[in-house]
A and B are shown apart, each in its own frame.
Chain A
Amino acid sequence: MYQLPLSAGSPVGRFRMRALIAAATGLALAFALVLALTELGTPTGETSPKPLLTTVPPHP
């Protein structure tokens, strides 16, 4: 059986647990931000009222 070298009750164990929680929080926030941004997407806008051209425009 795998043995954890230190118990969570020791100072080092507590520190590692806190470090793990900090890292997990950072990871979760990154996922949440990216998921929220992609869910929001970009606005679709409206069809341009400009016509399909049958004259030569003088400039772009």
Chain B
Amino acid sequence: MHRRAGLILLALAVFFAALSPLTRWYAFPRLAKIPADQYQDMVLVAKDATLLDYGTMTERKVPQVTIVQTLKGNVEASERIERTAGRDVVVWDGLSYVQGPDGEMVSKIPERYIFDAHTQEPVHARGEMVDGDPVRREGLEFKWPFLTEPRDYEYFDAQARITAPIHYKGTQDFRGVEVYYFEQTIPWTEVPFPRIMPVEGITRETVAKTGTTRWYTTVRKFWVEPVTGAPVYGEEIHKEELRGGTLLGDREKVTAFAGHVKMREDYIDHTVDLVTSQRVVVLLMTSYLPWGFLGLGLLLLALALYVEARGRRARGPGAEEPVTSEPVTA
């Protein structure tokens, strides 16, 4: 009876001890992924911003500019790409909608971002674009990988359509959450005009004929929760200028937009709550379960040895003395 119990305990000990590394290094990389059907929105505001009045082509101070950013997982497109890519893919159709102080549209830029659901590495497929222009992303956008490391990453800038380093600048505490702070500076760069302009009749093509160009610089800041790789907060010090051409008359340049863009307070709270709950799920697979299984395995092994030792004592001394036999050659 003791012997059978000891063997069952031993089997369970090995079962749980084996589950520990299997959960962390086999199951976690395969099960942890961004869901293909995710939908999320974000509101950012720039208080006391500068905005171009396209009617008079002069810059003006405005109390607030609002940016509404939506990301929507396109399940059909991801399934189509997965068939040829041979891995789990997420397709995010996004829209950055910028609204002026009177509720008028300032710009509206759609994009399609395709990436590996597990690693967040970009996947290149037809349809990858920013504002209708085909792009080939390198690096990250919007989200960092699970188990983010304290190091520099490459980050895709959708305005300039370029990838540049985003630097790790230290670990901080953000509203009770340990985060990695990242910062990227995009120097003044010429960027395309949006396809949809705020004034009817003006298009990217008609502006191009005037010789006026659009320039942009930004300092992008992200506070990223490292376990989930999700940013809990973001800011951008963003400036845009129109330069040269007949559109500006005798002026060399005019500010199209300048503002310090920050996440709206209610969205910060919402994001912190969301990331904190998702962090527990990831920690379950990377830490709580593996360590728990290992501890349970060791406990069961100790119990198996104890049961076996008790069994031997009960069977009396010498019960398990080795019986001499001829050695077997292998």
Number of interface residues of A (CB under 8 A): 45
Q: Quick check: is B159 within 8 A (CB to CB) of the other chain?
A: no
Question: B43 to chain A: which residues have CB within 8 Å?
Answer: 56-57, 60
Task: Report A19 CB to chain B, min CB distance, Å.
Answer: 6
Question: B75 to chain A: which residues have CB within 8 Å?
Answer: 44-47
Interface CB pairs A-B, < 8 A, 23: A1-B329, A2-B330, A5-B327, A7-B325, A12-B320, A13-B325, A19-B7, A22-B14, A30-B15, A30-B19, A31-B22, A34-B26, A37-B27, A44-B79, A45-B36, A45-B37, A46-B37, A47-B37, A48-B37, A50-B39, A50-B72, A54-B105, A59-B266
What is the CA–CA distance of A3 and B95 in the complex, to the nearest angstrom? 72
CB-contact partner of B14 in A11, A30, A50, under 8 A: A30
In A1-45, the 8 Å CB interface with B consists of 1-7, 9-13, 15, 18-19, 22-27, 29-31, 33-34, 37-38, 41-42, 44-45
CB-contact partner of B72 in A27, A37, A48, under 8 A: A48
What is the CA–CA distance of A7 and B323 in the complex, to the nearest angstrom? 9
Chain B 42-56 interface mask (CB, 8 Å, partner A; 1/0): 010000000000000
What is the CA–CA distance of A13 and B322 in the complex, to the nearest angstrom? 8
Contact between chains at B27 and A4 (CB < 8 Å): no
9 interchain residue pairs of minimum CB distance: A26-B14, A45-B37, A30-B18, A60-B270, A26-B15, A52-B95, A48-B39, A26-B11, A22-B11
What is the CA–CA distance of A55 and B97 in the complex, to the nearest angstrom? 8
Question: A27 to chain B: which residues have CB within 8 Å?
Answer: 14-15, 18
In B52-77, the 8 Å CB interface with A consists of 66, 68, 70, 72-76
Task: Report A44 CB to chain B, min CB distance, Å.
Answer: 5
CB-contact partner of A15 in B3, B8, B79, B105, under 8 A: B3
Contact between chains at B323 and A11 (CB < 8 Å): yes
